[in-house]
Amino acid sequence: MADEVKLHGVTGSPFVCRAVIALNLKGINYEFVAEDFSNKSADLLKYNPVYKKVPVLLHNGNPILESLVIVEYIDEVWKGVPILPQDAYEKAQARFWAKFMDDKCDPAIFKVISSHGEEQAVAEAHEALQFLENELKVKGNKYFGGDNINLVDIAAISIAYWIGAAEEALGIEVLSKHKFPKLTEWSDNYVNCQAVKDSLPPIENLVAFLKKRFSKAE
């Protein structure tokens, strides 16, 4: 019996992108259901009544919510390319850093973008990014997952792609190469992984989306 997999999302969201990367890494066939923030579908509201947000993964009609919960679900259901480490301690480390992305990094990045690079917001984002820069330095690997991407790399997609797009859209600087050499190098490698490349919206589209969403009122 074939699996039916749908993903409700918007292409401008890094959280949706996390789920897309996981699906593509595993080679899963799925249908993408584009949502409109200003006019959410009845299905979305039915499947996610608590948050009313994307992404929502539907697997044979069963909804799974929250991007990192979705990624872990995908890893457990579909074998093949592993997203989480096997070892319990390494798994815990990966979950810690993924949570750090959710709790500290992504909110800080959002603040930078929505404030158009206001000084304090940038300083706070840099503080959060520095922990990840150090983690890459200490580990000395190509990716947070080692030789291959893992949960943390997937969680950190906003750093690798959304920051650059926002820098272009809003004329700000957030992730400078001299301050974050490891993160810059990691970003370049990461966005060129096939599964990731296949998952990213075209940069021009993202730049236009961010310009429109975060433009200051005239």
Residues that bind other proteins (CB under 8 A): 50, 59, 62, 64-66, 69-70, 72-73, 76-77, 88-89, 91-93, 95-96, 99-100, 131
Q: How far is the CB of 59 from other proteins (least distance, A)?
A: 7
Quick one: 95 or 182, whose CB is closer to other proteins? Answer: 95
E runs forming strands in 10-59: 31-34, 56-59
Q: How far apart are CA 98 and CA 156, in angstroms?
A: 8
Q: How far apart are CA 218 and CA 26, in angstroms?
A: 45
Q: How far is the CB of 75 from other proteins (least distance, A)?
A: 9
Q: How far apart are CA 217 and CA 159, in angstroms?
A: 26
Q: How far is the CB of 54 from other proteins (least distance, A)?
A: 14
Question: Which two three-digit tokens encode residue 153?
Answer: 């790399």
Q: How far is the CB of 194 from other proteins (least distance, A)?
A: 26
Quick one: 100 or 180, whose CB is closer to other proteins? Answer: 100
Of 125, 133, 131, the closest CA to residue 166 belongs to: 125
Quick one: 73 or 162, whose CB is closer to other proteins? Answer: 73
